[in-house]
Structure 1
Amino acid sequence: MNTTLAGLAAAATALVATAASAQMQNPTVGGAEMFADKTIVENAVNSPINTTLVAAVQAADLVDTLSGPGPFTVFAPTNAAFERIRDADLNDMLKPENKAFLQQVLTCHVVSGEVMADAIAGMIASSGGSHPVETLGGCTLNASRDGNRIMLTDENGRVANVEIADVDQSNGVIHVIDRVLLPKQ
């Protein structure tokens, strides 16, 4: 009888572990699987909706930084977010002579530490509905919520919505957003 109970307990433990593993699986980004054991850059290059971001990170010479140990929280604009910027402005931003500005723009999407969506929501709630977020680029974003959706407002009043939250990485977390955030102009 003990052997049967031990077998059932082992089977139940395995079932719980499998269910927990399935619940903790990373969301896909643009249909691409994201791996928690890969870096932010390693995962981003596989996302078909973040190719402009990857090109910008390369042009800004930030690949090594975002491949480093971190941890980082990255608010990652989609290709559609970059398409909201006028072509001429985006092309200017990507020019080698504008690398410092591009670096600032991109690092205004990066926060030191790994901050998951529930922690952001908690900070918003404990701060009375909005919470300032200091970025590595020297920008202050304002985090707020509309229902369950987390929003970030830059210093120019541009609002980005978190479309995909909590994409775990080996060196941090990515939250996919629908707008490029800019430093104060």
Structure 2
Amino acid sequence: MRKLLAATVILGLISTAALAANPMVGGAAMYPKKNIIQNALKSKDHTTLVAAVKAAGLVDTLQSKGPFTVFAPTNEAFAALPAGTVETLLKPENKAQLTKILTCHVIGAKALAKDVMSMVKADGGQHKVKTVGGCELTLKVDGKKVTVTDETGGVANVTIADVIQSNGVIHVVDKVLLPK
């Protein structure tokens, strides 16, 4: 019985240590055993993104096995778009455009910050990657800072990297990435 109790305590400590390694996002703990949607729902900084994902019908996709890398724009990033843009995109008649924008934030692979840095270094300072929405993003590294440039030339900074999910990883960004 003591061995079982000791093993349980040790496993609990290991689990707590593993969970502690994941950064907080939007004031909420992010759990590596939960999927992208389950964690995003808890972030007060991503309520606009969650509403957009629901409006685009992408919840099931982002709850699936993956793996995915999501560049997750904050509410402030959406608020920085021209007035009325978010409201217009959330209308049912604009679902295709909203879906295109959102899927331009998703890569069909798990790319941690160290992976991005390695790819950028190997490619001489920038790495181009295709998203599941067919967009091409350019990843760059300046010291430990990772930036993502969209097809319109907009540059997003990764503000929180490596938020591990059961089906991939989230990197929080400060700008909405746009397709051509």
Whether the TM-score (by the shorter chain) exceeds 0.5 is: yes
Following the alignment from structure 1 to structure 2, what is the Cα–Cα distance between the partners of residues 30 and 110?
20
CA spacing shift, 1:134–1:24, aligned 2, 3 Å: farther
Residue of structure 2 in register with 1:9 after alignment: none
Q: Secondary structure at the match of 1:162?
A: strand
Alignment of structure 1 residues 132-151 onto 2, 5 Å = 132-151=128-147
Among residues 121, 126, 130, which one is paired with 2:122 in the alignment? 126
Q: TM-score, normalised by structure 2?
A: 0.89
Which stretches of structure 1, 4 residues or longer, exceed 4 Å deviation after superposition? Answer: none
1:30 aligns with 2:26: yes
Report if the CA contact (8 A) 2:19-2:31 is conserved: no
Residue of structure 2 in register with 1:72 after alignment: 68
1:158 aligns with 2:157: no
Q: Secondary structure at the match of 1:49?
A: helix
Following the alignment from structure 1 to structure 2, what is the Cα–Cα distance between the partners of residues 173 and 183?
22
Q: CA deviation at 1:23?
A: 8.6
Identity of aligned residues (%): 54
Q: CA deviation at 1:87?
A: 2.5
Q: Secondary structure at the match of 1:50?
A: helix
Among residues 82, 101, 106, which one is paired with 1:86 in the alignment? 82
Report if the CA contact (8 A) 2:163-2:170 is conserved: yes
Following the alignment from structure 1 to structure 2, what is the Cα–Cα distance between the partners of residues 88 and 26?
34
What's the C-alpha RMSD, in Å, of the aligned pairs?
Answer: 1.9
- Residue type of the alignment partner of 2:114: D
Q: CA deviation at 1:126?
A: 0.6
Report if the CA contact (8 A) 2:19-2:32 is conserved: no
Q: CA deviation at 1:172?
A: 0.6
Residue of structure 2 in register with 1:48 after alignment: 44
Among residues 145, 163, 173, which one is paired with 1:177 in the alignment? 173
Following the alignment from structure 2 to structure 1, what is the Cα–Cα distance between the partners of residues 148 and 23?
20
Report if the CA contact (8 A) 2:120-2:140 is conserved: yes
Following the alignment from structure 1 to structure 2, what is the Cα–Cα distance between the partners of residues 102 and 86?
15
Q: Secondary structure at the match of 1:87?
A: coil
Report if the CA contact (8 A) 2:104-2:135 is conserved: yes
- Residue type of the alignment partner of 2:167: N
Q: Size of the alignment, in residue pairs?
A: 170
Q: Which has the larger radius of gyration?
A: 1
Q: Secondary structure at the match of 1:143?
A: strand
Following the alignment from structure 2 to structure 1, what is the Cα–Cα distance between the partners of residues 95 and 51?
12
